[in-house]
Structure 1
Amino acid sequence: MAIKWKGVFPALTTKFTADDELDLSLFGKNLEAQLEAGVEGIILGGSLGEASVLTTAEKESLVLHAVEQVNGKVPVVVNIAEGATREAIRQAALAKQWGADGLMLLPPMRYRADHRETVTYFKSVAASTDLPIMLYNNPVDYKIDITLEMFDELAEVPNISAVKESTRDVTNVIRMRNRFGDRFSILCGVDTLTLEELVTGADGLVAGLVCAFPAETVALYKLIKAGKIQEALPLYRWFMPLLELDIHPKLVQYIKLAEAQTGIGSEYVRAPRLALVGEERKRVLGVIEQALATRPELPAYHHLNVTA
């Protein structure tokens, strides 16, 4: 399946049971809510998906389940976050074998690669597969900035086709557009910058709080891209306290608590993460409950003409 890197791509959480096994039934319930809301792709095994504590067999189960349930409606994208080039290439091959439609690729983990090493890493993985690739540019968390100069060299690689823009610098969207035009699709990767980056030229977003609030996320995207900014602003203001849960080190626990409160997830995480307790849980729960108490009635957004 060819991927149009636009619209809302949820970075899905991985659902676990109380016995620390995959909860594919609950995963499927959440996935169905995403599809009903109108997402245009899904991403498995990202940071929010707790990929670092999943076994290869568990990743396979998640991908196979998603591919079967999605049944071609939207592309299934698998995240790759590895320290060794050889292992990243192996994961790319497995993703293709399992039926994935594309990859999201992080720079090398743990080792802070320089310009030449980072570009070579990306080119090596891309050359090993025909799957379309979205690079994940998040120097805040992963300490490697995929610079414009790196993109100059990567532009010659045909299947590197998009970037998840998480530098936290909104003007980077403008820089990318000025330098490369439409060569790379740009997806906002920071929930709290959704409106700003969509207005300045991003094609879509890789979202976190969409896991708990799929309809609100897709409605926000469509209102903004349809040019209905005045209608989007009240929804964005309501959403912002929730969106801020996405930029905390415990975003997994925070977003899973939100999923549990909206009935499409649970609070179970895998160690070393621990479920929230005490005052921290009370505080985050207060944010979620306030949002639910004031949850807005959404406009009829599915029909909106999104052309940009």
Structure 2
Amino acid sequence: MKQRMAIGGNWAPVLLPIDEDDSIDFGRLATVIDRLIAASVDGIYSNGTASEFHNQTEAEYDSIQTLMAEKCRAAGMPFVIGACHSDPSVSRERTARAAALRPEAIQVILPDWLPVTDAEAIDFLRLTVDAAGDVPLILYNPPHAKRVLSPDELARILAEAPTVVGVKLASGDAAWREAVRRHLGDIALFVPGHRLATETREGVAAGSFSNVACLDPRGAQRWTDLMRKDIDAALDLERRLCHFIDTHIVPFREKPGYSNAALDKLLATIGGWGPIGTRLRRPYRWIPEAEADRLRPIARRSMPELFAD
């Protein structure tokens, strides 16, 4: 079945360099975007969890998107803008402003203070489709959402919003894949970056808005390209990558309870490819950079091809 959306592959997130006074360092941010473009990734996206969309003013939001859009457009780099916000009114306003920048798509989340019913989800998406005009939407439905939609629920809701062309979601087991094939054959699915080889082999993933690109965008792109040529070699790297994440990164989330954004910035600082740092905007806590220094040689020993120049 033909998918509603043709884009896929390795999409690298824009991470925000935060100064000690809690401001966004836009000079360093420009360098980060330049280096993502130089990595020749399949695309760049802003304002997912890794971009701390939940902790920005509207003026900062506009400045981030304008900077990314101008740089990507000048370089011919595809880009997706996140208009996520827990307030549906703010999300729609962000969507309308993002649409004016002409991204490949706009990523949104369902309203998240109160869990939505099917009818409320459909109404929100219809309103957001109107705000986006002719720019397609991608729905972000993460595992920590107030309502995580099953494949059949997604199909039922997205049938009422045909310009929602993709979904970013967690991957699953064999039963989940069978449900995806049955209900979501025309929707582009974007899975967690460190599971992309498996879900590519299984034929359910269009690509990833990728935590592996946090670690090293060039390496993540080489790995994505490898999946098209030698899936067994790509799966071998995935095995080592998942072991590294499960052993050395996930424990920070479980205890003392750092956020996913903190984990993404830890990965970027381990990779050392851009002037980002581990600092989050307060009140959220960040992982000390000494932990990145400790983990960097472990990552490079276990996954040398990910970091090869």
TM over 0.5: same fold? Answer: yes
Give the direction of change, closer, same or farther, for the CA distance of 1:93–1:107 in structure 2 (3 Å limit). same
* Aligned 8 A contact 2:220 2:306 in 1: no
CA distance in 1, matches of 2:278, 2:291: 15
Q: 1:220 to 1:236 in 2, by over 3 A?
A: same
CA deviation digits over 1:234-254, x for unaligned, max 9? 322332245443793433223
Which residue of structure 2 lines up, in the alignment, with residue 96 of structure 1? 99
Aligned match of 2:43 = 41
Choose the corresponding residue for 2:141, options 134, 137, 152. Answer: 137
Q: What amino acid is aligned across from residue 195 of structure 2 in structure 1?
A: L
Q: Which has the higher helix share?
A: 2
1:150-183 deviations in whole A, cap 9, x for unaligned? Answer: 42342343311111122545643442222242x2
Judge conservation of contact 1:75–1:101 (CA < 8 Å) in 2: yes
Secondary structure, aligned partner of 2:29? helix
Task: Supply the distance in 2 between the matched residues of 1:180 and 1:295 (Cα, whole angstroms).
Answer: 33
TM-aligned CA deviation for residue 41 of structure 1:
1.8
Mapped to 1, the partners of 2:250 and 2:161 lie a distance apart of 31
Map of 1:157 onto structure 2: 161
Match of 1:21 among 20, 23, 26: 23
SS at structure 2 position matched to 1:52: helix
Check whether the contact 2:16–2:29 (CA below 8 A) recurs between aligned residues: yes
Which deviates more, 216-225 or 246-255?
A: 246-255
* Distance in structure 2 (CA, Å) of the matches to 1:254 and 1:225: 28
CA contact (8 A) 2:13 2:45 kept: yes
Q: Is the 8 A contact 2:42 2:221 kept in 1?
A: no
Question: Which of 278, 281, 304 matches 1:267?
Answer: 278
Out of 162, 168, 176, the residue aligned to residue 172 of structure 1 is: 176
Amino acid at match of 1:21: S
Structure 2, unmatched stretches of 5+, are none
- Whole-angstrom distance in 2 between the partners of 1:11 and 1:124: 26
For residues 167 and 120 of structure 1, the distance between their equivalents in structure 2, rounded to whole angstroms, comes to 26
Partner of 1:306: none
- Write the distance in 1 (CA, Å) between the matches of 2:307 and 2:21: 40
Stretch of structure 1 that moved more, 86-95 or 243-252: 243-252
| Matching residue of 1:186 | 189
Relative to structure 2, which stretch is displaced further, 287-296 or 8-17?
A: 287-296
Cα offsets for 1:71-126 (capped at 9, x unmatched): 25233222233334332221111112344442111111111112221222122211
1:61-80 pair list within 5 angstroms: 61-71=63-73, 73-80=76-83
Q: Secondary structure at the match of 1:164?
A: strand
Matched with 1:256 is: 265
Deviations 1:17-40 (A, max 9, x none): 233222223223332332233322
RMSD of aligned alpha carbons? 2.8
State the aligned residue count.
292
The aligned residue for residue 125 of structure 1 is: 128
Question: Residues 295, 146 of structure 1: CA spacing in aligned structure 2 closer, same or farther, 3 A cutoff?
Answer: closer
TM-score, normalised by the number of residues in structure 2: 0.83
* 2:10 alignment partner in structure 1: 8
What is the DSSP-based 3-state SS (H/G/I as helix, E as strand, rest coil) of the residue aligned with 2:166?
Answer: strand
Counterpart residue identity of residue 122, structure 1: L
Q: How far apart, in 1, do the equivalents of 2:171 and 2:78 lie?
A: 25
- Write the distance in 2 (CA, Å) between the matches of 1:3 and 1:37: 24
CA contact (8 A) 2:102 2:135 kept: no
Instruction: Give the whole-Å Cα distance in 1 for the aligned partners of 2:217 and 2:108.
Output: 24
1:236 aligns with 2:245: no
Q: 1:224 to 1:41 in 2, by over 3 A?
A: same
What aligned pairs does 1:53-68 form with structure 2 within 5 A after superposition?
53-68=55-70
Q: CA separation in 1, counterparts of 2:135 and 2:305?
A: 39
Does 1:115 find its partner at 2:124? no
